[in-house]
Amino acid sequence: MISIKTTNSLYEPEKVDVGIVHIGLGAFHRAHQAVYIEKNLNRNQGGDWGICAVNIRSNSQLVDELKANGCRYHIAEYQDSQNVELREINAIRDALFAGTDKEPLFEKLVSPKTKIVTLTVTEKGYYLAPADKTLRQDDPSIQHDIQTPASPKTAPGILVEALYRRKESGLPPFTILSCDNMPNNGSLTRRVVCELAAHRSAEFAKWIEDNVAFPSSMVDRIVPAMSDASRERLQKELDCHDQNAVMCEAFSQWVVEDNFPQGRPDWEHDGVQMVKDVHPFETMKLRLLNGSHSLLAYVGLAAKYKTVAQAVADEKFASLIRHYMGFEAAPTLDLPQEVQVQTYIDSLVSRFANDSLQHQLSQIAMDGSQKIPQRWLNGAEERLANDVKQGDLNATALGVAAWLFYVRGEDLEGNQYKVDDPMAQTLSELHGRCADPESLVREALKLNDIFSTTLSQSEMFSRAVLNAYQTIISSGVTDCLSFNNRLSNNNTANFGG
Ligand code: CS2
């Protein structure tokens, strides 16, 4: 029998004021930040840290549906398939779609009550070149925001315009908190906002530099995209008839740099880790959790698995990610003091094994060009700059090879599928241009939006990627998998040249 614990709001939602504007009202926000705010409001029996959540480009339907329900929804936190907590959430007090509600959005952003603006816009929403993380000035949307700054399309453009209006009205700025999976997400957000603002005036950009706080944060909770099937399951299993419900794992972590000059909720009492330096937490999570996720996604899809849980149930895949984490990624990390790496790795493997989530590998495979630099490549570059031996980066190389295979948009049986990635066209042209694996791998590693010269010039790394790629296309990806997680120098990958 499934055990369901129900938790309801303990405050009067209509009395809660909005102190936070959030951009990016996806499932992740609803199951992560909004839950921490919900706990805060429950504990304080209300307050003025309610959220106005905004979608800027897509999913106006969700905004309408949420509003039709007074922004009330539920989340189902699955410990495993038998233990679930169903939570009512009222932390989101208002929802807007920037496409049609631009002025109401700026009203909220310029309100003196708004103290914090948070972001979950995914990696590509920052318009940074993936490898060197500079603003992509030539992107048409950024160009639009440079030419017509008063009606911006992008998240950075909206922040710049809102800060401009606040400055003009003599109001203090808000604090900007990035909640996306990027290293130094606070400084990167500062960089894009200041670079864009400099197109208005150097003086305005300097005002932002001097006055706006951009704390970094590490966010962690596995939240699969909702589907009709998962909604139906919530109805049947939990009797939850809520179109906007979100399902996620029970685990949740939020580590936030404590830099909020305009004030913040007393989050430290709600399980948020408020710290001085987020960096060790961010790199650990990105390279271990997200790095393994991407590895499972590309290698798993090539082996015809559909979900994360299915892939890790295969011992070969569990060994692959344990090997990757323990031998390739962990040595690059400066771990937070309280973390025991083996315990962290074990907990990740068991979180991935949670089969109640049905976390689709294809969801993780999206936008690979924007994800793999911080998940795999930065660590590999650091390893290459030190003393690496043949075979030391074979799991990472296999990941790169499987990603390269995935982005060709056609499996070994000739079935075609859509590659969802801002660089999809470049990657498809690359496959069209390079028929033989050797030139394909060589040219792919020259894509300097993704790969640094350290990687493209490493003979050892290129050869390992090529060997893995050749194995994938000639005998299938499972032939690349014999990582048995032993502590040895040439640890057991059966390719690597
Ligand atoms: C995943 C993440 O889709 C992806 O790329 O790796 O969304 C992952 O589930 C979260 O970062 C977990 O905190």
Residue extents of the structural domains in the chain: 3-275, 279-481
pLDDT at position 117, please?
A: 98
What is the pairing mode between strands 50-55 and 92-97? parallel
Find, among 409, 413, 453, the residue nearest to 428 by Cα: 409
Q: Give 314's DSSP letter.
A: S
Q: Decide: 222 in ligand 1 pocket, CB within 6 A.
A: yes
Q: Which residues contact 203 (CB under 8 A, 6 or more apart)?
A: none
Just give the CATH number of 279-481.
1.10.1040.10
pLDDT at position 232, please?
A: 96
Integer angstrom CA distances of residue 318 from 302, 309, 322, 344? 16, 10, 6, 15
Token pair for 25: 């009202």
Find, among 87, 75, 78, the residue nearest to 28 by Cα: 75
Q: Decide: 31 in ligand 1 pocket, CB within 6 A.
A: no
Closest residue (by CA) to atom 9 of ligand 1? 222
Q: For residue range 5-42, what is the model confidence (pLDDT) as tens digits?
A: 999 999 999 999 999 999 999 999 999 999 999 999 99
Nearest ligand 1 atom, CA 363? 3
Examine domains 3-275 and 279-481 and report if their fold is the same: no
3-275: CATH, from 3.40.50.720, 1.10.645.10, 3.40.50.410, 3.40.720.10: 3.40.50.720
**Rounded distance, CA 20 to CA 176, Å?**
10
**Rounded distance, CA 497 to CA 307, Å?**
31
**Rounded distance, CA 497 to CA 455, Å?**
16
pLDDT at position 485, please?
A: 56
Ranges in the chain, pLDDT < 50: 486-492, 495-497
Residue 330 Cα to ligand 1 midpoint, Å, equals 19
pLDDT at position 163, please?
A: 98
Task: For residue 143, give the 3-state DSSP assignment.
Answer: helix
Q: For residue range 362-389, what is the model confidence (pLDDT) as tens digits?
A: 999 999 999 999 999 999 999 999 878 8
Residue 257 Cα to ligand 1 midpoint, Å, equals 20
